[in-house]
Amino acid sequence: MSDDNSTLPYPRPSDEHPTLVVPDPADGRGGAVRRRRRWPWAVLIVVVVLAALVVAAELVARAVLPGVVRSMVIEQLDLPVDQQLDVETEGLLLPQLLAGRLDTLHLSTDAVTLQGITGAADVTATGVPLRGGDLGGADGTIRIDQEQFTALLSDTDLPVDTVEFAAPNATLGGSFAVLGTAVPVSVTFTPGAVEGDLELTPVAASVGGVDVDLDRIGSSLGSLGEGITQPRRVCIADQLPAGLTLTGVEIDGDDAVIDVDADGAIVTDEALQAKGTCDR
């Protein structure tokens, strides 16, 4: 072979002119890479959509549930259909709704009438069944004014015509008969509660408009004096629903704040919704 027709050698590879490799179509590695890059975004989108649905469901539950609970309470307690009643819940509602029981339910109203006594009520119930049944428990407060407190004591044997509050005490005004003559009496008590009864502990008294010494009036007026000067337990169970138990009483400004515990069956047992009794 002559030098005139010599074969030229291949150029040496260099960084300036890299050799291109054509991928084999049978090799699926390229598609796998694209899929690996794409699936995290798909999962993220699904998670975001599910989260949005959960949030929306929770908001709907919070918007709808108070009205449903309000209707149930009004029906169970036979309250007026236009009764003002605020309903609040705690925690995430969806898990509680799925379980069929609310952990905590808070009810409040500025004015409600139960067994003839009208006042503001604030109640917290726990373990509230959504498909019927008894509560796990409940407690709350009832705030009543001087007029309602007077009505609460009107059926007792205390000589009560009026009641005036001056925290922490309440002054009861009335009269008792002496030889056919009505003698005005005023006794200032500190209220409390003992074993479900209202307890009145006297701190001052006046008879006929004259301040008297509690120790002297107690000894000079016999049983009547003892009734005025000694701590007095008064049953008011017959003035409250049978399912409520008095646990505390205190004077706060112009109101008497009555603490009560409620029997969990009060929402289903009509006997507990009726007036209680002082027969023991």
Is the per-residue pLDDT at 222 higher than 70?
no
Whole-number Å distance between alpha carbons of 279 and 73: 29
Residue 116, token pair as written in the block: 């003839």
Whole-number Å distance between alpha carbons of 123 and 207: 40
Domain assignment of residue 121, yes or no: no
Is the per-residue pLDDT at 198 higher than 90?
yes
Confidence class for position 211, pLDDT limits 50, 70, 90: confident
pTM: 0.72
Helix, strand and coil percent figures for the chain, each rounded to 5: 35, 35, 30
Domain assignment of residue 155, yes or no: yes
Whole-number Å distance between alpha carbons of 125 and 111: 19
**Ordered DSSP codes for 244-267:** EEEEEEEEETTEEEEEEEE-GGGG
What mean pLDDT is reported for the chain? 79
pLDDT at 192: 95
Least confident of 37-46, 69-78, 134-143: 37-46
Whole-number Å distance between alpha carbons of 248 and 102: 27
Residue 120, token pair as written in the block: 């503001």
Domain assignment of residue 135, yes or no: no
Whole-number Å distance between alpha carbons of 106 and 118: 19
Please report, in angstroms and rounded to a whole number, the separation of the first and last CA atoms in the chain: 135
**Cβ 217 vs Cβ 238: under 8 Å:** no
Is the per-residue pLDDT at 219 higher than 60?
no
| 22 contact partners, CB below 8 Å, separation of at least 6 | none
Q: What is the pLDDT of residues 26-62, one digit of tens each?
A: 555 555 555 556 667 677 676 666 666 666 666 666 6
Whole-number Å distance between alpha carbons of 227 and 211: 17
Domain assignment of residue 190, yes or no: yes
Whole-number Å distance between alpha carbons of 192 and 120: 19
pLDDT at 131: 79
Domain assignment of residue 210, yes or no: yes
Domain assignment of residue 211, yes or no: yes
Confidence class for position 217, pLDDT limits 50, 70, 90: low
- Give percent of the chain with pLDDT exceeding 70: 73
Domain assignment of residue 104, yes or no: no
The domain of 190 spans 146-273
**CA angle (108 as vertex; 244, 277 as ends), nearest 5:** 15
Domain assignment of residue 197, yes or no: yes
Please compute the mean of the pLDDT values over residues 216-220 and round it to a whole number.
58
Establish whether the linkage from the previous residue to 202 is cis, with ω within 30° of 0: no
How many domains would you assign to the chain? 1
